[in-house]
């Protein structure tokens, strides 16, 4: 992908297929950034940032933040999009559990998934191994391109009430098998990584679906894949970010993909960590920005918190707000919540709607029913430490947190286009409650 490219679903599908764990998502994003000329800046190293330079950094190997330095004019504002790399899955606690009949692994649920969607399908394992080397401890990503495990359902003959509602116990019902007794998942992963099993010091491993992203529908209008929430937004915002021309003097463009959103974002690499604040501080130091200039720049900014929302379900329309129906293919979402669990206000919505109008992208309002509470978003959590005007956006999808989800092909392009427009639209707040959007 490069900054001259027309948006293609092939790029999104490739990203979804590669991003079988947060670590692989970060690696896939880093590869795209490298191809676009961005320079890696490790957090532990000194940074030599130059005007107009393109850079990125990572944290924990699962969160990525990229930015374009202002070409001139000091620092006058920030354009930011934020998404996340993680999806609900099953984390492996013990890769090899002793059993007389099966090779088994022990797992624990990560995030709020729809449990039975993981059963009776070919699964693999992905993540990272921490390996002892002559120089110390190094990371090896692993994602064998074959089915290694499955989670077998209990047959209807032993559970006659299965179709009348069943409460799944993850410690009992959702534990995977890896093959016949005597096999070793850890040994298999060590061979995949080309290391000795005794040199594996630790691991971060997840189960992942093997189904590839593909178009579905009579006209191919939808697509199905694992991890659509939130990798669809991660990729489309990244694509839009790379279309930014960096022509506005003094503006710094930023793209963030955090980890651990599905479990509260409270980790070092999550939105409640300091990654974004730390990078912004180092950029301001490189530009010799005063405290006053820093505060002014943050008021002349906008952050798009991009995370998917729920489309109206074909079989359960009663679950959605009847006055704010969300149609897949109907455009990007503006997400509202009266208690500010979403950051959208009338003020920030107005700016985003104007950018959508310029990009010729339709907008849909998303709000939960008044009797259904909503969770907090990346924007809400980032706002605790970074005072930038924010708006919550996303794309409508079905079966959120299923092992395989469904979304609209047209909506993916809409998000990519509006993000490209966002990164090429000067934004200024000359007075409280007033936006000035450049041509």
Q: What is the model's pLDDT at position 3?
A: 41
The rounded distance, in Å, linking the Cα atoms of 222 and 20 is 21
Domain locations along the chain: 9-87+226-437, 89-209
Q: What is the model's pLDDT at position 4?
A: 53
Q: What is the CATH number of domain 89-209?
A: 2.30.250.10
Instruction: List phi, psi (to 5°) of 218.
Output: -60, -35
What is the layout of strands, in order, in the sheet containing 214-216? 214-216, 222-225, 405-408, 396-398, 309-310
The rounded distance, in Å, linking the Cα atoms of 82 and 236 is 11
Q: What is the model's pLDDT at position 215?
A: 98
Strand partners, 310: 397
Paired tokens of 211:
């189904």
Q: What is the model's pLDDT at position 129?
A: 98
Considering only CA atoms, give the Rg of the chain: 22
> CATH: 3.40.630.10, 3.40.50.300, 3.30.70.60, 3.40.50.620. Which one for 9-87+226-437?
3.40.630.10
Q: What is the model's pLDDT at position 230?
A: 92
Per-residue pLDDT of the chain (439 residues; tens, 9 = 90+): 444 568 999 999 999 999 999 999 999 999 999 999 999 999 999 999 999 999 999 999 999 999 999 987 789 999 999 999 999 999 999 999 989 999 999 999 999 999 999 999 999 999 999 999 999 999 999 999 999 999 999 999 999 888 988 999 999 999 999 999 999 999 999 999 999 999 999 999 999 999 999 999 999 999 999 999 999 999 999 999 999 988 888 999 999 999 999 998 889 999 999 999 999 999 999 999 999 999 999 999 999 999 999 999 999 999 999 899 999 999 999 999 888 888 899 999 999 999 999 999 999 999 988 888 777 788 888 888 888 999 999 999 999 999 999 999 999 999 999 999 999 999 999 999 999 998 5
């Amino acid at each position: 992908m490069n900054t001259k490219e027309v948006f293609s679903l092939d790029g999104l599908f490739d990203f979804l297929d590669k991003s079988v764990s947060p670590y692989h998502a970060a690696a896939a994003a880093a590869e795209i950034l490298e191809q676009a000329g961005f320079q890696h800046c490790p957090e532990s190293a000194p940074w030599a940032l130059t005007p107009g330079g393109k850079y990125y950094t990572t944290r924990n190997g699962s969160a990525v933040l990229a930015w374009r330095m202002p070409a001139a004019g000091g620092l006058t504002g920030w354009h930011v999009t934020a998404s996340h790399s993680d999806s609900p899955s099953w984390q492996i606690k013990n890769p090899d559990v002793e059993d007389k009949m099966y090779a088994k692994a022990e797992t624990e649920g990560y995030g709020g998934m729809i449990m039975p969607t993981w059963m009776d399908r070919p699964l693999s394992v992905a993540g990272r191994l921490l390996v002892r080397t002559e120089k110390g401890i190094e990371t090896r990503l692993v994602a064998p391109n074959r089915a290694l495990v499955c989670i077998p359902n209990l047959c209807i003959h032993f559970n006659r009430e299965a179709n009348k509602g069943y409460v799944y116990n993850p410690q009992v019902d959702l534990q995977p098998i890896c093959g016949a007794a005597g096999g070793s998942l850890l040994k298999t992963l060590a061979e995949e990584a080309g290391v000795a099993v005794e040199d594996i010091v630790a691991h971060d491993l997840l189960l992942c679906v093997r189904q590839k992203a593909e178009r579905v529908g009579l006209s191919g209008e939808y697509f199905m894949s694992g991890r659509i929430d939130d990798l669809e937004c991660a990729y489309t915002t990244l694509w839009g970010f790379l279309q930014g021309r960096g022509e506005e003097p003094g503006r710094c463009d930023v793209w963030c993909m955090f980890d651990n959103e599905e479990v509260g974002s409270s980790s070092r690499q999550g939105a409640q960590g300091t990654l974004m604040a730390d990078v912004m501080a180092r950029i301001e130091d490189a530009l010799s920005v005063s405290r006053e200039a820093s505060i002014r720049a943050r008021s002349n900014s906008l952050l798009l918190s991009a995370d998917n929302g729920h489309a109206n379900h074909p079989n359960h329309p009663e679950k959605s707000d009847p006055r704010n129906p969300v149609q897949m293919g109907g455009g990007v979402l503006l997400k509202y919540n009266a208690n500010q669990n979403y950051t959208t206000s009338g003020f920030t919505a107005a700016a985003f709607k104007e950018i959508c109008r310029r990009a010729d992208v339709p907008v849909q309002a998303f709000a939960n029913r008044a009797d259904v509470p909503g969770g907090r978003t990346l924007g809400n959590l980032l706002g605790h430490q970074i005072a930038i005007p924010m708006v919550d956006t996303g794309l409508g999808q079905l079966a959120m947190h299923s092992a395989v989800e469904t979304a609209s092909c047209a909506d993916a392009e809409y998000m990519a286009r509006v993000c490209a427009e966002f990164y090429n639209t000067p934004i200024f707040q000359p007075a409280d409650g007033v936006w000035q959007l450049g041509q």
